[in-house]
């Protein structure tokens, strides 16, 4: 049991909610908070956790404070805003920043809070809602080795793979670059299905072939049949967040003076899809934009090669 370590968790969205469930199951004492007060109350009641009234309140009741939020801008507001977490943090508290953040912003926040005796690591995750629910997330961890050691029992309650990436900010850079690769694989895979369907191949059969061949990737294994060919488009990770992460990856490329022409094109296509489809879409809905460009719908009338 981990009842002596008090955890605060801020951000109870699609990923945060199942992550808190894993922490409670592991025996941690938990205070939870979300900008949506009704969600805070609901999650707290379901888990038997404490409902914090504000980020400051969550921080004051925590030895380790976890943030799982949409962006670095939101993290900054939660920490520094009125009734923000920084006002409630005692010296010796550790912040585990699990959002998909901007590396430079994370570094700046870490330097700022060090002055009040608070440490930070960045620990973004990969794996989606299903792996968050099962406690099988891949977690990247950047920061001081001792701070990561301290956080490791908490991270292991949520993830099956904890990979140390280097100094603070490195995990956020790695997460963005991972999503760049994921986004590129998704787009090229959808284009291949559209080409094959025009040729006369069945898209579902193509996915089966890709999954036993060198074209296999996360999109072919876990997204194409489940969320695109099914027309569900509800994988649980937002298109807006993917575009944000691609922007972070391109920012890392710019900061390191690394030419990235394919990455730039990939980001442009995702951003165009975001503009076309509108806000609030699942990231798998980007396939609809590829279909628009191709003038075809996967599984549609052109499946016979027309």
Q: What is the CATH number of the domain that holds 255?
A: 1.10.1040.10
pLDDT at residue number 3? 58
Residues 151 and 299 grouped into a single domain: no
Give domain status of residue 67, yes or no: yes
Q: What is the pTM of this model?
A: 0.93
Long-range contacts from 265-269, C-beta under 8 angstroms, 24+ separation: 266/180, 266/183, 266/184, 266/187, 267/180, 267/183, 267/243, 269/187
Annotated catalytic sites, by residue?
175
> Among residues 133, 168, 203, which one ends one of the domains?
168
Confidence of residue 119 (pLDDT cuts 50, 70, 90): very high
Q: What is the CATH number of the domain that holds 163?
A: 3.40.50.720
Q: DSSP 3-state assignment of 16?
A: helix
Report residue 306's pLDDT band, with 50, 70 and 90 as the boundaries.
very low
Handedness of CA 151, 155, 156, 160 (dihedral sign): negative
Residues 199 and 92 in one domain: no
Q: What's the pLDDT at 91? A: 95
Q: Domain end: 121, 144, 168, which one?
A: 168
Please tell me whether residues 121 and 207 are part of one structural domain.
no
Q: Over the stretch 179-224, which tens digit does the pLDDT of each residue have?
A: 999 999 999 999 999 999 999 999 999 999 999 999 999 999 999 9
User: What pLDDT shows up at residue 4?
Assistant: 82
**One domain for residues 149 and 234:** no
Taking only the tens place, the pLDDT of each residue in 4-31 is 899 999 999 999 999 999 999 999 999 9
Whole domain around residue 223: which residue ranges? Answer: 173-304
Domain count, the chain: 2
Residue 305: the pLDDT is 41
Note the pLDDT of residue 226.
96
Q: Report the pLDDT averaged over residues 128-149.
A: 96
């Amino acid at each position: 049991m981990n009842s002596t370590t008090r955890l605060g968790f801020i951000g109870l969205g699609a990923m945060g909610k199942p992550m808190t469930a894993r922490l409670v199951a592991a025996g941690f004492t938990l205070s939870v908070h979300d900008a949506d007060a009704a969600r805070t109350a609901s999650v707290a009641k379901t888990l038997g956790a404490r409902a914090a009234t504000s980020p400051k309140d969550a921080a004051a009741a925590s030895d380790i404070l976890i943030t799982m939020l949409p962006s670095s801008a939101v993290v900054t507001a939660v920490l520094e805003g009125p009734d923000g977490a920084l006002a409630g943090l005692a010296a010796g508290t550790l912040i585990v920043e699990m959002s998909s953040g901007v590396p430079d912003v994370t570094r700046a926040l870490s330097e700022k809070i060090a002055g009040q005796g608070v440490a930070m690591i960045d620990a973004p995750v990969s794996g989606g809602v299903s792996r968050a629910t099962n406690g099988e997330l891949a977690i990247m961890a950047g920061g001081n080795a001792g701070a990561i050691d301290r956080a490791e029992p908490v991270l292991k309650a949520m993830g099956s793979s904890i990979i140390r990436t280097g100094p603070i900010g490195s995990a956020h850079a790695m997460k963005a670059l991972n999503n760049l690769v994921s986004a590129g694989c998704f787009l090229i895979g959808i284009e291949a299905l559209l080409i094959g369907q025009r040729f006369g191949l069945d898209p579902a059969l193509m996915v089966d072939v890709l999954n036993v061949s060198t074209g296999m990737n996360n999109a072919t294994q876990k997204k194409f049949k489940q969320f695109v060919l099914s027309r569900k488009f509800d994988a649980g990770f937002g298109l807006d967040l993917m575009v944000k992460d691609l922007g972070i990856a391109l920012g890392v490329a710019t900061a390191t003076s690394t030419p990235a022409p394919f990455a730039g094109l990939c980001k442009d296509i995702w951003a165009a899809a975001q503009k076309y489809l509108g806000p609030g879409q699942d990231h798998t809905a980007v396939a609809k934009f590829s279909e628009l460009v191709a003038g075809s719908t996967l599984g549609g009338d052109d499946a016979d090669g027309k």
